[in-house]
Amino acid sequence: MIAFQGVSVVYPNGVTALRDLDLKIEKGDFLFLVGPTGSGKSTILKLIYREEVCTSGRIIVAGKEITGISRRQIPYLRRGIGVVFQDFKLLPRRTAWDNVAFALHVIGVGRTEVKRQAAKALDSVGLLHKADALPTELSAGEQQRVCIARAIVNNPVILVADEPTGNLDPDTSWDIVQLLSRINVKGTTVIMATHDRSIVDRMRKRVIALQNGRLVRDEDKGAYIGEL
Amino acid sequence: MSSRMRLGYFLSETASNLRYNGLMTLASIGTVMVSMLVLGVFLLFNLNLKSTINEVSSKTRVCLYLKAEASGVEVDALKRMVEGLDGVRKVDYVSVDKARERLKQDMSGQADLGRIVDTAPLPASMEIEMVDTSKVASLTSVIKGQPAIDEIHYGEDIITTLNLIRRIVQIGGLAAIIILCLVTAFVIANTIRLTVFARRKEIRIMQLVGATDWFINWPFIMEGIFHGLAGSLLAIGIAAVGYTWLVKNWPLTFIFPLAYNEQALLHISIALLVGGMLVGAFGSFSSVRKFLKALA
């Protein structure tokens, strides 16, 4: 599904974000990216939806090499990838429903289809009853669920989450991860960057640990801190 | 999505853009209005200058004074030759008697001069009315050596000056129009930049969920076109009211009346309308494109 081959990212100011990374993620995987701030977790996620471009190496997403694709092809790549952020990035003046429907509107989906899919997505995160609420009227956990609904409304094959529980209390965090896990069970590949030790330890999923832009650990049923 | 629904989406996005920054929208429309008004005043000035030049040109005649000894055959041949030349509308032969008659008329009321006129040695002449005054120089050079001609007179200075003014106005006008359009586009670009900035979060999300640049661009470009359209409509309205008033109250003592050629005025209106919309589209496009490039 996703492959990184010898990928390095060096910023113009000389900072190296990733060094010679080799990584393979299979279809239907659930994967945690762990490591200290600045270790390269976010960079990996951004490379997948081509927010960033690697300095060297090859990246393959959904069977397609994306290293050299043109600007015009990027939107079509992103339609297959859902993105969830720590700060939700919801539009404050639009209702939960509008925030989810927006993602379909802007890629040219017809009105009936928008209605059907938005309802389905909001229902799957358990927020159909709050469709008319503005983000400010929702709790942080609910806002994150709207963000997830927006990310999955287009039935992406890959879901990328950058510290989605960073702003949430432990119980709500656990709910969110359970939600992501349910999405994963339906076949979507989920990649989640996190600092949340208890979640990683409880989930027992594949863990990739990074340090200074290098992959230092890759375990199938791993924990937040490596077992010796 | 069908194209009708797309248009609906773009229109509603444009409308909400306009609502979001109402005051800036007004400022932007106002700037377009001022620019297009200046452009309109310039075009009207140009129209009047052109009609004045035409008026003066049509009244400018080349006068050939004929030699007293020139024969009727020579005069006839000269008249036919001149009539065949480029830029000539009409050739009138003025005999000695006719010239005297005219002079008498001009001096009527000044009784004492009547006798002098009767005895004055007036030459016969040929008066050439031109279609195109810029052809006068070439005309004179062609007929200069003709045996029947004694002297050639024409308003050299006036014609040269008028043609020079016309040239200067054309070049200066073109430069002024280009500068004005650039300034207007710049102002619109700045206003649209504010809209884009106000909606940067939405644009960001649009990019992340896979909206194409084209799809993101359109509402902003339509907003720019709307600024241009509204501004130029206002400018046309003000110019129309102002110019109509001027035409009605133009003092008759002026040599030339103001031009009120409906077709030319329609052309000016269309020019302002299209100009405003193009400038609006160009301004917003350059603004959004810069922003999208910076983000992606």
- Measured between CA atoms, the residue of chain A closest to residue B204 is A89
Q: What was the pLDDT predicted at A93?
A: 85
- Measured between CA atoms, the residue of chain A closest to residue B10 is A106
Which residues from B are below 8 Å from A69, CB to CB? none
- Minimum-distance CB partner of A89 among B9, B201, B212: B201
| B158 has pLDDT over 80 | no
Block mean pLDDT (10 aa), chain A, length 228: 94 92 94 93 95 94 90 92 92 91 89 94 95 95 95 95 93 94 95 94 94 93 75
A169 backbone φψ class: left, alpha, beta (φ>0; ψ -120 to 50): beta
- Measured between CA atoms, the residue of chain B closest to residue A155 is B209
Which residues from A are below 8 Å from B212, CB to CB? 72, 75
pLDDT tens digit sequence for B117-138: 666 677 888 888 877 767 777 7
B9 touches chain A (CB under 8 A): yes
Q: What was the pLDDT predicted at B254?
A: 55
**Joined tokens for residue A105:** 């509107």
B72: number of Cβ within 10 Å? 8
**Longest pairwise C-alpha distance within chain A:** 55
Which residues from A are below 8 Å from B5, CB to CB? 110-111
Please report, in angstroms and rounded to a whole number, the separation of the first and last CA atoms in chain A.
30
pLDDT tens digit sequence for B273-291: 998 999 889 888 888 888 7
What are the beta bridge partners of residue A55? none
What are the beta bridge partners of residue A83? A160
> Predicted ipTM?
0.85
- Judge whether B271 and B44 are in contact, CB under 8 Å: no
Mean predicted lDDT score pLDDT of chain B: 80
**Joined tokens for residue A152:** 């999955």
Give chain B's domains with CATH numbers.
3-56+160-295 (no CATH), 61-154 (3.30.70.3040)
- Whether A107 sits inside 8 A of B211 (CB atoms) is yes
Half-sphere exposure (Cβ direction) of B60: Cα atoms closer than 13 Å: 26
Stated length of chain B: 296
- Minimum-distance CB partner of A78 among B2, B202, B210: B210
